[in-house]
Structure formats: C-alpha cells, structure tokens
Structure 1
Amino acid sequence: MFRKRKAQQEMEEISRMLERVLNGECIQPGEIGYEDTLPAKIRYQIRRISEKNQGVEARITRERDETKALIGEIAHQMRNPLAGVESYTQLLDGEISGEPGRTYLRALEQSEQRLHFLTESFIKMARLEQQMIQIKKTTDALADTIFSAVLLVQKAAEEKQMEVEVTGAEETKVWHDGNWLGEAVYNLLDNSVKYAPEHSKIRVVVRQDEMYTRIVVSDDGIGIPEGEENRIFQRFYRGSRVTGEPGFGLGLYISREIVRLHGGFMKAKRKQQGLEVAIFLPV
C-alpha cells in the first residue's frame, strides 16, 4: 500500500512538472532529486526539455527583436534618399512638358509616394513595438481628432464621390492623445475609402456608455470573409479579398497598437455589405 501511494505521489509530481513546462516555466536543478529511480530520471528529462524550451524561446525573442530593430533602421535609412527623389521629381515637374515624359513623371511620383507611405508605416510600427511612443492624453472632445482624420482622406473620398458622415463626436469627451488616436482613426477611414465603391457613404459613429467610448467606422465595401475578423489586425496580414489591391497590411495593426496603448481594444464585424470596425476606449 505504501509503495502504491508513493508511486501515485511521484506520478502526480511529474504531472505537475510537465504542466509547468507547458506553461513556459523553468524547472530548477534542486527539484529533480538525485535518487537512482525511474521517476527521478523522468524528472531529469523533463528539466532538460524545460531548459531547451527556454533556450528556444530566448533565441526566438532575440531574433524577433533584432528583426524589428532592423526594419526600423532600414526605414530610417530610406528617409533621406526618398526626400531626394521627391525633390528631384518636383524640379522635373517644371521642366517636362510633353508626353510620354509627363506619364513617366506621374508614375515616378506615385512610386515615390507609395515608398514614402511604406517607410513611414515601418517607422511607426517599429516605434510602437519598441515602446518608443509616448501617449500624452488630455480630456477633449473627439470631434477635432476625428475630423482631422477625415480631412486626410477627404481628397481620395471626393475622387470616388464618396461621403464621410460623422455623428456623435461633438458631444463626446474622452481621455486620449489626439495625434495618435487620429492616426488610428485615419487608418480605418483609409481602408474604407480604398475598398468601398464609388458614390457610397462611410459612417463614423461615436457612442458612449458607462464602460466604453466606441468609435465605429462602417462602409459598404468588399468586406471580409467569415473567420478573418481577428486576423485583419495582425501585422502584414491582408484579407483574401484585397490581394490584388495596393497595400501592406500595416494600417489596422498600427491602429490596434495605438488603441492598446490607450488601454482599449478593437473589434471587426462583418456586414451583409461591407465592414464595421470599432475602437473601444475606457471611460
């Protein structure tokens, strides 16, 4: 009976050690015992697995951090050459008058703009991931923050004869950083302008209850398939319906990180026609 009870206790101890390893904990040398028994050998093997797991996790973390730093450094190094390209393009704009020179110049300008956008997105992503962003919150109405974001997409919306309708922002005050939250809202609006049809309406609705202030951006665009509601906030993820469209899969990820720094979260909801993306900020 004593042997059976002891064996049971040893198996329970081994089970607990395995559970700890699965949870990412490290098994210390003093926990394995020094008896020349099968349970002691199993505990020793568990400890070796634990050490290897810790080493793999440390290496993955180090490589991930190095990759993030490299991306940020490359983006910073691209800034000056891009500024030079932009300057020369502006100089050429006044010198080239005939076709096909003008066509080539417009193509060069569009490429420069896309590279500039990508570079700035990488820099923002790197700053967010390396926790270099300082959120400076003040209690202000959301109107200025949201309308500044609307202004940035106004030209693109007008080119597609789209309307951006904002309701509820004037009456709602919230503790936030206007510049960074404006960036988060802009990314949502930019996606809506890209993927919604011409002559459609983009709606921005602000609601507040006892727990959260919600900023909801909805459109009548191409939407997303079922199952992509959470994946669209991942870094570099692009929905299966937009693979043929220009973009880098960073906008919603950056928005999510900005909102997270505000203590909030984001959710996406499929519509029969289009998509609804909501920012939740704590009251």
Structure 2
Amino acid sequence: MSNGLVLAIAAVLLCAVCIWAGVWIYMRRKYVDFTNAVCGSIDQILSGEGTGDFDFDDESLLSKIQMRLERLADITEAAARESEEQKKQVQSIVSDISHQLKTPIANITMYSDTALRPELSEETRQQCLRTLKNQVRKLDSLIQSLLQMSRLENEIIVLHPRENVLKNTLFEVAESIRLRAQKKGTEVTLECPENLHVYYDEKWTAEAIFNIVDNSVKYTGDCGKIRICAEPLEIYTKITVEDNGTGIAPEHINDVCRRFFREEKSSCIEGVGIGLYLTREIITRQNGYLKIKSEEGKGTSVSVYLPNQGK
C-alpha cells in the first residue's frame, strides 16, 4: 500500500472522527439546552409563574412538551384557586356557625346559673326555667337547620322530583302554619287550580315553601294578610307567597337568600337566617328558581318557579 493511500485513509478517518465528535458535541449541547428548558419550565410552574413565553407554532419536541406543561400549569393554578376558595368558605362557615351558637349558649349558661341561686324566689326560678327551655328549643332548631344545610350542600340529601298534585302540597303547608298565624290575627289564604300537576320532590319542596310562609308570618304584623297562590305558565308553574308585612330594604333584596343573613331591624324576631337559603338550594336543585319583590313598609312577594315537566 502506497504512502499516499495510507494518508488518504487516515485523513478520511480523521474527518469522520471530527464529524462524529462535532455531532456528539452538538447533540449534547442540544440535549443540555432541552433539559434546561424543560427544567426551567417546571421550576416556573412550581413557583407559580406559568411556563414563560414560547412559540406554540413551533412543531419541535420542546414546543410540544412546553404546550403540555402549559396545560399542566393551568390545571395546577385552577386547583390552587379552588383549594383557596374552599378554605375561605370553610372558614366563613365555621365563623358563621360560631356566631350563631354563641348567643343561645351564653343565654343558657346565664339562666342556668341564675336558676341555681338558692335565694331566688320560686316564681323567678320558674321564669328562668321557662326562658331556659325556650333557649334550648331555639338551639335545637338552629342545629337542625345547620344539619339540613350541611346535608344539602354535601349532597347527602338527594331530591327525587316526580309528578305531584300541587294543591295538596300547598294545602298542607298552609294548614301547618295556620295556627301560628291565627295567634297573631294573620289571615292565610290559598288559591291554586285543582289537579295542577307539577314535577317536584314533595317533602323538600313543602319544606322550601313552608320556610317562605314562615317568614311571612314572622314579619307580618298583627291582623296581617298572607296569600299563597299558584299559576301554571308555559314551562314553569309559579307559586307566590305575598304578605303585607314589614318588607325588605331595596339594598338587601339580593342578600336575603344568603346563608345567615338577617337585616338589623329583624334582630328582635326569632330566626337564624337559614330558611330562604335552604329554600333556594332546594328549588334550584330541581331546575327551578326564585324571584323576590318587596317594598319596605308594604310587604313582600316571593315567587317559586318549578318546571311543569321532569327531565
């Protein structure tokens, strides 16, 4: 083999080695850059900064991974926001419940201590015991309402809408409240077409409408009037409870269905501010809705809209 051929082969081999080394160095650099870019994107997600700016039109492998990281970042941020919102809701509920329980428990403690005083006259002691019994009843009512609220919110209570004769349900509601209304001299009237069939859960819808009528009795003065009426519409049936009570301030119309909301002027009236909240939950879970109209000093009208047909 001539020296020229040997040199040629050596030159070719040297070029091949150089090319391979160059390709290896290039690929290694690309790999390092790729790894750094992915790690940088992950670090940005972990720090809550998103994934940075990239060209999503680029069809490279890095771009595809970055697009998926962007989706992961969106999901992570949404989950973090939801978790924070749930935390705030739990804190709000605990605060509300604590506030609602504080007054009856304080009253029970105070009247219990008073009733145990040996120098107390029998008449005063009996008065303390009657007040104590009343506070226990209020506390029991509050706890039952809280349990209902919790079971509804956590979907432990499942509503089963089916076809019912509406007048039967409204009649039961009117009769269950009539005695209390009569004690105040308040008249309760019912107007509902015979054989009007509507889809709803009978037990819980009766509870929802009772809450509305109960509020009307509470906030209507002596010799007041409460009218319960039903009107079939094209898609819904409208159930309205009207009264000539104290009415609601315009700025509070949108607040009365909030959990534990009560106007300052109603602080002397028995209640905890859960009734209309439960009513709205029960009705909306049956694809219905509520409308409230009120004029301060003249009265309130609460309308429940229930679908005429099931799903």
Using structure 1 for the length normalisation, give the TM-score: 0.69
**Could you say if the C-alpha distance between residues 218 and 27 of structure 1 is closer, same or farther in structure 2, counting changes exceeding 3 Å?**
farther
How far is 1:148 from its partner?
Answer: 2.2
2:227 is aligned with 1:203: yes
1:13 maps to which residue?
none
How far is 1:271 from its partner?
Answer: 3.7
2:33 is aligned with 1:33: no
Q: Is the 8 A contact 2:249 2:295 kept in 1?
A: no
Q: Is the 8 A contact 1:142 1:174 kept in 2?
A: yes
Q: Is the 8 A contact 2:208 2:279 kept in 1?
A: yes
> In the TM superposition, what are the counterparts of 1:163-182 in structure 2 within 5 Å?
163-168=187-192, 170-182=194-206
User: Alpha-carbon deviations, 1:65-95, whole Å to 9, x = none?
Assistant: 6559979x99xxxxxxxxxxxxxxxxxxxxx
Using structure 2 for the length normalisation, give the TM-score: 0.63
Q: Percent identity?
A: 29
The one-letter code of the counterpart of 1:101 is R
How far is 1:177 from its partner?
Answer: 0.9
CA-atom RMSD in angstroms: 3.4
Alignment partners' CA distance in 1, 2:244 and 2:89: 39
Q: Is the 8 A contact 1:230 1:267 kept in 2?
A: no
2:101 maps to which residue?
none
1:186 aligns with one of 210, 214, 218: 210
**Could you say if the C-alpha distance between residues 151 and 170 of structure 1 is closer, same or farther in structure 2, counting changes exceeding 3 Å?**
same
**SS state at 2:259 partner:** coil
Alignment partners' CA distance in 2, 1:169 and 1:126: 35
1:212 aligns with one of 212, 233, 236: 236
Consecutive aligned runs of 4 or more in structure 1 exceeding 3 Å deviation: 26-29, 49-56, 64-71
1:280 maps to which residue?
305
**Could you say if the C-alpha distance between residues 165 and 192 of structure 1 is closer, same or farther in structure 2, counting changes exceeding 3 Å?**
same
Pick which of 161-170 and 57-66 moved more: 57-66
**Could you say if the C-alpha distance between residues 111 and 144 of structure 1 is closer, same or farther in structure 2, counting changes exceeding 3 Å?**
same
Q: Is the 8 A contact 1:237 1:249 kept in 2?
A: yes
User: Alpha-carbon deviations, 1:40-89, whole Å to 9, x = none?
Assistant: xxxxxx99x97896465233244256559979x99xxxxxxxxxxxxxxx
1:257 aligns with one of 275, 278, 281: 281
1:227 maps to which residue?
251
**Could you say if the C-alpha distance between residues 70 and 242 of structure 1 is closer, same or farther in structure 2, counting changes exceeding 3 Å?**
closer
**SS state at 2:272 partner:** coil
> In the TM superposition, what are the counterparts of 1:46-195 in structure 2 within 5 Å?
54=78, 56-64=80-88, 66=90, 99-168=123-192, 170-195=194-219
**SS state at 2:250 partner:** coil
How far is 1:157 from its partner?
Answer: 0.9
User: Which runs of no fewer than 5 residues in structure 2 stay unpaired?
Assistant: 1-47, 57-69, 99-121
Alignment partners' CA distance in 2, 1:269 and 1:162: 21
Pick which of 224-233 and 124-133 moved more: 224-233
Q: Is the 8 A contact 2:189 2:228 kept in 1?
A: yes
How far is 1:239 from its partner?
Answer: 2.6
1:78 maps to which residue?
none
